[in-house]
């Protein structure tokens, strides 16, 4: 198998990215839309990610050990894209969430097929929630 620590590093980054994206969407639903149901659904999905990881074969301590922020060559390519409005913020973060869930699905296929399937199911829930949020 490929270097497991590199795979764990990818998983760690994308777990953080997916939860952060959901958190931003949750805040839009809560404070901008004032939609209690939508807020609860985003929060539940964020918690689902934690549950999936807790139930997986991969322990959080392994993910933290694989983290190497200082060696991330992609940090230099980050840029701040100006958002025009709240819809842009929401859209960017729901996209970020879907993309990171896809990455989690793909890389978990190398380590834990059942967990990969759970991330796939979660990604499709996000597609549906995005459709309902428009």
Buried b or exposed e, range 1-35, using 16+ CB within 10 angstroms:
eeeeeebbbebbbbbebbbebbebbbbbbbeeeee
Question: What pLDDT is recorded for position 23?
Answer: 98
42 pLDDT above the threshold of 60: yes
Q: Is residue 74 part of a domain?
A: no
pLDDT digits (tens, 9 = 90+) for 90-121: 999 999 999 999 999 999 999 999 999 999 99
Q: How many residues does the chain have?
A: 134
Q: Is residue 77 part of a domain?
A: no
Domain span at residue 125 reads 4-64+83-133
Question: What pLDDT is recorded for position 59?
Answer: 83
CA separation, residue 122 to residues 1, 44, 55, 133 (Å): 26, 11, 15, 16
Q: Is residue 122 part of a domain?
A: yes
Looking at the chain, the whole-number percentage of residues with pLDDT higher than 90 is 71
Q: Is residue 50 part of a domain?
A: yes
Q: Is residue 78 part of a domain?
A: no
Q: Is residue 69 part of a domain?
A: no
Domain count, the chain: 1
- At 25, the pLDDT band (50, 70, 90 cuts) reads very high
């Amino acid at each position: 198998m490929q270097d497991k620590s590199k795979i764990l590093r990818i998983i760690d980054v994308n777990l953080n990215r997916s939860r952060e994206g959901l958190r931003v969407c949750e805040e839009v639903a809560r404070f901008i839309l004032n939609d209690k149901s939508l807020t609860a659904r985003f929060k539940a999905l964020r918690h689902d990610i934690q549950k999936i990881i807790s139930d997986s074969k991969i322990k959080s301590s392994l993910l933290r050990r694989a983290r190497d922020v200082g060696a991330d060559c992609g940090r230099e390519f980050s840029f701040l894209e100006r958002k025009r409005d709240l819809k842009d913020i929401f859209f960017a973060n729901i996209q970020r969430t879907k993309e990171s869930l896809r990455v989690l699905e793909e890389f978990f296929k190398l380590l834990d097929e059942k967990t990969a399937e759970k991330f796939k199911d979660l990604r499709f829930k996000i597609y549906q929630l995005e459709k309902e949020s428009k």
